[in-house]
Structure 1
Amino acid sequence: MLEFERVGFSYGRQPVLTGISLTIAAGEFIAVVGPNGAGKTTLVRLALGLIRPTDGAVRLFGTDSSRFRQWSSVGYVPQRANASSALPISVDEVVRSGLAGQLRPLARVSSTQRERIEHVLEVMGLQQVRRRRITQLSGGQQQRALIARALVTTPRLLFLDEPTTGVDAEAKTALRASLEHLVNIEGIAVVYISHDPAGFAGLAQRVLEVRDGQVLPVSGSAPVSSASHPGA
């Protein structure tokens, strides 16, 4: 699904990541931890092709990220921001907007796309609130709506950046159940960035820490190779 081959990245002369090599396979749940400013977001931006590596190569499904075009196969949910109270858009419309890149102007969604919308609303537990404005939802429901939006294109790889920030315990439980379904039933690979270990405990097959320009396995997790840390 995703491969980093001896990847380095610098902002000007300031190195952020150095010699990172790792792979993520279908159906894997990978948690990424690390202090603020360590390079977690940079790692995701590299994976999404938003920035180019200074050294090495990033590949999505075997294709260099600079040439990759099948972005419907990749879902991304950034850190949650509170929706504007002036935003007159329903949950249904938020989820449907995830299909914008696949629809021609003024085109209607197909029957297959409608079925997918229904499916992701059900998986994320949002069917009962689909007609409500996004601003009327709790923080946890808003977050699940954004995840549903990312899922509507049927991605095979999903990035979640701090998905439990600002949500209550009940919302975390609902989110966890949804993620279990995505990984165990649908086989989606998940990269889960978080400061909250309880959010991914028991779900993550590997926990990786971004620290001092390296991506290192947390104790008990599978190894990650790094050019400057042999055998790490």
Structure 2
Amino acid sequence: MSTETSPHTHPDTTPRAGSETSADTGVGSGATPGAAVVVERLSAGYPGVRALDEVSITVGAGRICALLGANGSGKSTLFKALLGLHRPTAGTVRLFGMDPSRARRRNQVSYVPQHEQVDTSFPVSVEQVVMMGRYGHMGLTKRARPSDRLACDEALDQVGLSELRRRGIGELSGGQRKRAFLARAIAQQAPLMLLDEPFAGVDRGSEELISSVLKALRDTSGTTVLISTHHLAGVEDLADEVVLLHQRVLAAGLPSEVLTEEQLGRSFGAVLRETT
């Protein structure tokens, strides 16, 4: 991830000493070879609200990137743009060189939302939820094959839910449910995984397990992981790189260089100033 001020990176002030990183760390120019995510000069919003202002981010393949910002910083809007669910007013998004809609059709991206709507009265099991991640692999019949069942089994094992596979999804605790939806994304076997606030409302044990699973996916299968979060604890250990967002990219680079009191004050303090 690179934080050098260039035509592709637009922090709202000149980077301060110590805030730059080497170009080989993943985020920087949209021309980076082998990039999984390239966002260039992206602006987006809603009637009367400008959520993103010329945001440029590049995430190299096989990296874990934490998109860090307070509520209202534009993280959710950026995720919607990455998924092709929100049309930007300017700029471009490319996932492995493809527009988001094509990337989704080609099973290049999986998504774990912050809140999953669950009808607790509907009799769907944990295993059935995880198997939904395999639908893109099943063809027109949508019948599970041995390879689909194996992927489902492995995903359940990775998140520690094998023994609860036949339990109703509505019977799980918040942390267990989050792990089940992570397992669904794992079973999809997409090379890019987006997670929106994966640590919100989970217990410490689930948080540690989710972090461990994400690092294993990066190390064993080269999965690129982009995490949207305002949860500071554990980010430095989990992420290869961090982007601080408040409508614009305020800082980007290695966790040790971005997660400083000064940089965090710029990101989270901006929201506090606007609400006081």
What TM-score does the superposition give when structure 2 sets the normalisation length?
Answer: 0.73
Residues 62-71 or 118-127, more deviating: 62-71
Q: 1:80 to 1:65 in 2, by over 3 A?
A: closer
Contact 1:91–1:129 (Cα < 8 Å) also in 2 = yes
- What pairs with 1:66-105 in structure 2 (closer than 5 Å)? 67-81=102-116, 83-104=118-139
SS at match of 2:205: helix
SS at match of 1:198: coil
Specify every segment of 5 or more residues in structure 2 that has no aligned partner in the other structure, as ranges.
1-35, 260-276
- What pairs with 1:42-81 in structure 2 (closer than 5 Å)? 42-65=77-100, 67-81=102-116
Contact 1:206–1:217 (Cα < 8 Å) also in 2 = no
The equivalent of 2:218 in structure 1 is 183
Contact 2:68–2:228 (Cα < 8 Å) also in 1 = yes
Tell whether 2:226 aligns with 1:220: no
Whole-Å Cα distance in 2 between the matches of residues 49 and 71 of structure 1? Answer: 13
* Counterpart AA for 1:103: M
The equivalent of 1:10 in structure 2 is 45
The equivalent of 1:173 in structure 2 is 208
Whole-Å Cα distance in 2 between the matches of residues 86 and 23 of structure 1? Answer: 42
Tell whether 2:167 aligns with 1:126: no
Contact 1:80–1:163 (Cα < 8 Å) also in 2 = no
Q: 1:82 to 1:164 in 2, by over 3 A?
A: farther
Contact 1:116–1:152 (Cα < 8 Å) also in 2 = yes
Contact 2:138–2:145 (Cα < 8 Å) also in 1 = no
Q: 1:184 to 1:68 in 2, by over 3 A?
A: closer
* Counterpart AA for 2:180: A
Bigger RCO of structures 1 and 2 (CA < 8 A, at least 6 apart): 1
Q: Deviations over 1:157-178 (max 9, x none)?
A: 1111111111111221222221
The equivalent of 2:197 in structure 1 is 162
Whole-Å Cα distance in 2 between the matches of residues 46 and 107 of structure 1? Answer: 28
Paired positions, count = 221
Q: Which structure is higher in helix share?
A: 2
Same amino acid, percent of matched pairs: 38
SS at match of 1:2: strand
Specify every segment of 5 or more residues in structure 1 that has no aligned partner in the other structure, as ranges.
223-232
Q: 1:108 to 1:65 in 2, by over 3 A?
A: closer
Whole-Å Cα distance in 2 between the matches of residues 14 and 175 of structure 1? Answer: 33
Cα drift, residue 187 of structure 1: 1.5
Cα drift, residue 199 of structure 1: 4.1
The equivalent of 1:25 in structure 2 is 60
